[in-house]
Amino acid sequence: MGNYFIFWTLRVSNIFSNFYWSYQSYYVAAWCFNQIYISIYIRCFGVLLASFQRYISLCHSSWRIEQIINTSHRWILPVLQWVVPGCFSVPLVAVTHAVFVSPDNLEVMADQANITLATSMAVVFVSVTFIECALCYGAILRFLMRNRLDSSTAIKRERRLYLQMLGLFAAFVLVFVYNVMIFSFSLYTNSTVKASSSQKVFRITDPTPSK
């Protein structure tokens, strides 16, 4: 995430515009394009892992997997946080054809095929993680409803934590809807297609909602 904000800040501030423009063919422009979607994979999978951990800890505390991820092998989830999005991003990392508009306008442009690839991968990944995350939240809600008469401190704490995590889930819903819209836009619209060196290119916008 730090890499994303550093690259984005340097690009939009135009402090290193000459560097970006001169080295755009050395994967600089391509990385500015790819990191937008890679950061989405990392964020969404992180939300899923957090939801899954709460689900296992609360609903299946007697399962062996709960002991593994929370006690004996706590490193598993952090490793998965990077390995799974990294493996999924391999086809996207292979995208190398991206350019900037001009030295004074470092907006990223890429082939229509690459845009469709990136948005389709994003909508698939976000959709799968969103559905699995929703299932975890649903299971936790059922558990809390079954124990609604329980006045123990642990259950009260879990209720408060669930309400806090609903805000995170609401943000996930917005990300899901936004990526579906971006994917549909990349398939059916022609309004942003421009000709550049006999190739059709799309203007790239960051599909991550601003916070």
Comparing CA positions, the residue from 103, 87, 110 lying closest to residue 16 is 103
What is the reported pTM?
Answer: 0.78
- In this structure, the chain runs to a length of 211
Q: What is the pLDDT of residues 143-178, one digit of tens each?
A: 888 888 777 777 788 888 888 888 888 888 999 999
Residue 67: is its pLDDT beyond 70? yes
Burial classification of residue 149, based on how many CB atoms lie within 10 Å of its CB (0-12 exposed, 13-18 middle, 19 or more buried): exposed
The tokens 């939300």 sit on which residue?
A: 47
pLDDT in tens, 70-104: 888 889 999 999 999 999 999 988 888 888 888 77
